[in-house]
Chain A
Amino acid sequence: MTTFDPPAQPAPPALPRLPKPYEPAVVAPGHTQATVTDQVNKVVFGKTPLWWLAALGISFAITMGFLFAVIWLFAKGVGIWGINIPVGWGFAIVNFVWWIGIGHAGTLISAILLLFRQEWRTSINRFAEAMTLFAVACAGLFPILHLGRPWLFYWLLPYPNTMSLWPQFRSPLIWDVFAVSTYGTVSLLFWYVGLVPDLASIRDRAKATWTRRLAGVFSLGWRGSAKHWHNYEMLYLLLAGLATPLVLSVHTVVSFDFAISIIPGWHTTIFPPYFVAGAIYSGFAMVITLMVPLRWLFGLKDLVTERHLNAMAKVMLATGLIVAYGYLIEIFVAWYSGVDFEQFLLVNRFTGPYRFQYAMLWVCNILVPQVLWIRRFRVQPLLVWLVSMFINVGMWLERYVIVVVSLHRDFLPSSWGMFEGTFWDWAIYIGTIGFFLSLIFLFVRFLPMISGFEMRHLVDHGHHTTETEKA
């Protein structure tokens, strides 16, 4: 038997490489390790800008107003809020869920994007982590303020006591205590571990004695030894691995506060994934809300580039679509369940007294962000910033609709009611925004808001467009 050899074919000519679509670099061209380090430290060593004093002054004044409102709350009790029977969960829970949602972006950017090797995360992860910490701090205040007897908040923790009582571990509200406090602690550790080498860099550059001493104490004497980095890198990776399921669990547990109950509109299995997506959505929106003005004010456009805006806008678009899917499934399941109360809730959302809030929720969260499909808009700082503001408002309205609309008309029409936020509701809500912004302004002035050692790493590996590549 003869074998048939096909005639040798000439190798096809190599296809010319198609030019990549223009992608802005993670770091602007021409940067070296020295220049990134100096750029990162510049804000800390620079003179205090006037706008910063003004911004901190205003935020701090709002914080003082917040403290006043809290003292009034402690003196008079939660009756100064608009809560009532049936709407026992008002602004406090809306704000709690809103803040904790915002607090999701930091760990997501630091941990999950680290595991996915998304190098653009490097110039925003420190800032997003700080934002997470401050948002979780604001979130944690609300359940405590909501307690009625907030000075007994430690009853939520399991500790041996003379009454021999334990917390009710079968309750989602106790799960919340564990989830939020663990999340806060692990986020703090992650943030601090990341800061240690950068504080060492501040210590080594500082001219003022007190800066050097403080940075020296908090950098623990870090000297960049290879043996130290060896353990450090391993820990950083493991913390990212631990924080990834944690960040997904936090809003899941928050959603259990609702989903484990039997209130129409709450008792639904879509809640955990839809809450997590919403949390990431609002967290990225808040990062953009803060980062766009800050990179302009501090002149950090070289390190936080259009590439970052583009990537963050894409994440917002994707998570926004998951949220939209959640809204649609809520409607479908209400109809498909055949349960009268669920179906009534649906009608009540569209046509009831809170229909305006529900409509605005669709506009802010679903309709407006669709402009992010267009690339040209995603790299427009002002436009992305405006969209992020819509999302901030929309996500607050989402929680308002979930908490208030479900509670105000449940099973018995004789026990229906209405809810409206009072002056003190708004004072405490706006007060936490002032508190949050004060912490942000203090952070960006006194600590390196961009991770210096990770930027040096990035520059060394040449992951940025150099002048020659561009040519």
Chain B
Amino acid sequence: MSAHSPYREGTYGILAEFETAKALVSAARQARLAGYTRLDAYTPYPVEELSEALGLRRSWVPLIVLVGGILGGLGGFMLQYWSQVLHYPMNVGGRPYNSWPAFIVPTFECTILLAAISGVVGMILLNRLPQPYHPVFNWDRFLRASRDRFFLAIEADDPKFDREATASFLRSLEPAGVREVEH
């Protein structure tokens, strides 16, 4: 058991280290073919093929951005309409209270602002960040995942997970190293 195990005890999963993105993608494909479902991969930069190899579903981020943008636009316009027409109508040189063409610029800016903020917050929360501790860091070689190494993890709560069988399956994929990590 690791000294830093604030949440759970026991095995988190088994990590395999690869030297290239290509090797990792093919390993991920084979792991899925072998029936593993609780998989994750760790790479130093986004590898597009991995999303398909791991069978990831479409990201929720676009929907969050769309909703944020619509709310921002409506909110921005309603703020102006309500304040200039309903709450404190003021006649400026005979211009209509609802001078909607003049309201377009703040409406546009509110749309972009809220879409961007909700997108960033959404991405962070969907990824369950910030997460100060994660078991994968218990392997010191994992630090190279942010430099030049590629890792595949089969997690212990996978129904097909078996300490011996999974480890030897991962070894059969010709990785640079395999290691079981604890929570």
Contact residues of A with B, CB < 8 Å? 32-34, 37-38, 158, 164-166, 168-170, 172, 174-175, 178-179, 182, 185-186, 189-190, 192-193, 197, 200-201, 203-205, 216-217, 220-235, 238-239, 242-243, 245-246, 249, 253, 256, 453-454, 456-457, 460
User: Considering the chains assembled together, what is the distance between the CA atoms of A291 and B92 in angstroms?
Assistant: 49
Partner of B50, one of A192, A204, A226, A253: A226
Is there an interface contact between A223 and B123, defined as CB atoms closer than 8 Å?
no
Is there an interface contact between B80 and A186, defined as CB atoms closer than 8 Å?
no
Is there an interface contact between A228 and B127, defined as CB atoms closer than 8 Å?
yes
Is B10 an interface position by the 8 A CB rule?
no
Is B168 an interface position by the 8 A CB rule?
no
Partner of A226, one of B40, B60, B124: B40
CB distance from B68 to the nearest CB of A (A): 10
7 tightest A-B CB contacts, nearest first: A220-B130, A221-B131, A166-B83, A201-B146, A33-B148, A175-B105, A226-B41
Which residues 106-163 in B have Cβ within 8 Å of A in the complex? 106, 108-110, 112-113, 115-117, 119-120, 122-124, 126-127, 129-134, 136-137, 142-148
List of A residues within 8 angstroms of B116 by Cβ:
185-186, 189-190, 239, 242-243
Is B18 an interface position by the 8 A CB rule?
no
Partner of B133, one of A185, A204, A221, A249: A221
Q: Is the interface of A mostly helix, strand, loop or mixed?
A: helix
Is there an interface contact between B113 and A186, defined as CB atoms closer than 8 Å?
yes
List of B residues within 8 angstroms of A245 by Cβ:
108, 112
CB distance from A254 to the nearest CB of B (A): 11
Among B28, B45, B60, B113, the one with the most A-chain Cβ atoms within 10 Å of its Cβ is: B45
CB distance from B134 to the nearest CB of A (A): 6
List of B residues within 8 angstroms of A217 by Cβ:
130
Is there an interface contact between A189 and B84, defined as CB atoms closer than 8 Å?
no
Is there an interface contact between B105 and A223, defined as CB atoms closer than 8 Å?
no
Is there an interface contact between A175 and B106, defined as CB atoms closer than 8 Å?
yes
Is B34 an interface position by the 8 A CB rule?
no
Among B87, B110, B116, B122, the one with the most A-chain Cβ atoms within 10 Å of its Cβ is: B116
Among B1-9, B95-103, B173-181, the one that faces the other chain is: B95-103
List of B residues within 8 angstroms of A233 by Cβ:
46, 48
Total CB contacts across the A-B interface at under 8 A: 189
User: Considering the chains assembled together, what is the distance between the CA atoms of A174 and B133 in angstroms?
Assistant: 45
Is B44 an interface position by the 8 A CB rule?
yes
CB distance from A249 to the nearest CB of B (A): 6
Is there an interface contact between B119 and A204, defined as CB atoms closer than 8 Å?
no
Is there an interface contact between A460 and B113, defined as CB atoms closer than 8 Å?
no
List of A residues within 8 angstroms of B43 by Cβ:
224, 226, 229
Indicate whether A169 sits within 8 Å of B106 (C-beta atoms), given known contacts A235-B61, A239-B119, A456-B148.
Answer: yes
Is there an interface contact between B51 and A166, defined as CB atoms closer than 8 Å?
no
Which residues 26-52 in B have Cβ within 8 Å of A in the complex? 28, 40-48, 50-51
A sample of 27 inter-chain contacts (CB < 8 A) reads A33-B147, A34-B147, A37-B147, A38-B147, A178-B106, A182-B109, A186-B112, A186-B116, A201-B146, A204-B144, A205-B147, A221-B133, A222-B129, A223-B134, A226-B51, A228-B129, A229-B47, A232-B123, A233-B48, A235-B122, A242-B65, A242-B119, A245-B108, A249-B108, A249-B109, A256-B105, A453-B44
List of A residues within 8 angstroms of B142 by Cβ:
223
User: Considering the chains assembled together, what is the distance between the CA atoms of A152 and B18 in angstroms?
Assistant: 59
List of B residues within 8 angstroms of A226 by Cβ:
28, 40-43, 47, 50-51, 54, 56
User: Considering the chains assembled together, what is the distance between the CA atoms of A32 and B19 in angstroms?
Assistant: 12
Partner of B95, one of A170, A200, A256: A170
Give B137's nearest chain A residue, CB to CB.
A223
Among B69, B130, B134, the one with the most A-chain Cβ atoms within 10 Å of its Cβ is: B130
List of B residues within 8 angstroms of A203 by Cβ:
146
List of B residues within 8 angstroms of A200 by Cβ:
146
User: Considering the chains assembled together, what is the distance between the CA atoms of A235 and B108 in angstroms?
Assistant: 20
Is there an interface contact between B103 and A201, defined as CB atoms closer than 8 Å?
no
List of B residues within 8 angstroms of A460 by Cβ:
21, 45
Is there an interface contact between A227 and B113, defined as CB atoms closer than 8 Å?
no
CB distance from A205 to the nearest CB of B (A): 7
Is there an interface contact between A182 and B113, defined as CB atoms closer than 8 Å?
yes
Is there an interface contact between B103 and A169, defined as CB atoms closer than 8 Å?
yes
User: Considering the chains assembled together, what is the distance between the CA atoms of A234 and B48 in angstroms?
Assistant: 11
User: Considering the chains assembled together, what is the distance between the CA atoms of A437 and B136 in angstroms?
Assistant: 40
Give B22's nearest chain A residue, CB to CB.
A460
List of B residues within 8 angstroms of A223 by Cβ:
42, 134, 136-137, 142, 145
Is B59 an interface position by the 8 A CB rule?
yes
List of A residues within 8 angstroms of B127 by Cβ:
225, 227-228, 231-232
User: Considering the chains assembled together, what is the distance between the CA atoms of A222 and B142 in angstroms?
Assistant: 12
Is there an interface contact between B105 and A178, defined as CB atoms closer than 8 Å?
yes
List of A residues within 8 angstroms of B124 by Cβ:
220
List of B residues within 8 angstroms of A205 by Cβ:
143, 146-147
CB distance from A174 to the nearest CB of B (A): 7
User: Considering the chains assembled together, what is the distance between the CA atoms of A343 and B65 in angstroms?
Assistant: 49
User: Considering the chains assembled together, what is the distance between the CA atoms of A239 and B116 in angstroms?
Assistant: 6
